[in-house]
A = this chain, B = another copy of it.
């Protein structure tokens, strides 16, 4: 079937174009969603639009970790029970939420807001690397914590962009004498050896750990 092109209504066409501009939403899905919204009660549609506009207009970024936040300092950074000597560097807020959901991490975060990618035209100045370096610097110079007790975890994805960004950050902060780590790579839980790619399996062997029964 062809993509519909003739719209019986300009209002419908505008809405379909707006919805279709979202990533991963094709013209056909956009039309389906527009017609769905058309069938909803007026107040629901107003609420839908309003919640999106309010997000864009009112959301702030935490002054410490640059995560999206309703306040100047996010709930994680203002939580005094968390380990303030450890900063986990992630690409975006989704990664923060994923790591938080594991319940395994109790330190702070630093949200880069992107990843260095020459292809996508994203350079170091487009992400919050400078703010991270400043943050590390002030942690070290404050003298509250010995540099060797400060740990920066580079929790970026394992692709070229992620590795490049990790390396770039490592070079900038390694001079402070702090610990810099990255996420363990290896087979996932429940993964079948047979279906693992060679790189992952190779790293799993090199980084093998003591068996703890």
Question: What separation, in Å, do the CA atoms of A57 and B29 have in the docked complex?
Answer: 21
State which of A46-54, A149-157, A179-187 sits at the interface with chain B. A46-54
Q: Is the CB of B29 within 8 A of A97?
A: no
Given A50-B49, A51-B17, A55-B15: A36 and B9 interface contact (C-beta under 8 Å): no
User: What residue in chain B is nearest A10 (Cβ atoms)?
Assistant: B70
Closest Cβ of chain B: how far from A73's Cβ, in Å? 11
Chain A interface SS verdict (over half): helix
A199 at the binding interface (Cβ < 8 Å) = no
Q: Is the CB of B45 within 8 A of A52?
A: yes
Q: Which of B12, B45, B53 contacts A68 (CB 8 A)?
A: B12
Q: Is the CB of B36 within 8 A of A22?
A: yes
A59 at the binding interface (Cβ < 8 Å) = yes
Q: Is the CB of B8 within 8 A of A76?
A: yes
Residues of B within 8 Å of A19, CB to CB, are: 48, 52
A171 at the binding interface (Cβ < 8 Å) = no
State which of A88-96, A132-140, A159-167, A203-211 sits at the interface with chain B. A88-96
A35 at the binding interface (Cβ < 8 Å) = yes
Q: Is the CB of B55 within 8 A of A101?
A: no
Chain A 17-51 per-residue mask, 1 if CB under 8 angstroms from chain B, else 0? 11101111100010111111110101001111111
A5 at the binding interface (Cβ < 8 Å) = yes
Closest Cβ of chain B: how far from A41's Cβ, in Å? 9
Question: What separation, in Å, do the CA atoms of A204 and B7 have in the docked complex?
Answer: 33
Q: Is the CB of A31 within 8 A of B68?
A: no
Chain A 83-108 per-residue mask, 1 if CB under 8 angstroms from chain B, else 0? 00000000011101110110000000
Closest Cβ of chain B: how far from A169's Cβ, in Å? 21
Residues of B within 8 Å of A34, CB to CB, are: 52, 55
Q: Which 7 A-B pairs have the closest CB atoms?
A: A49-B49, A4-B97, A15-B55, A45-B56, A18-B51, A14-B51, A18-B48
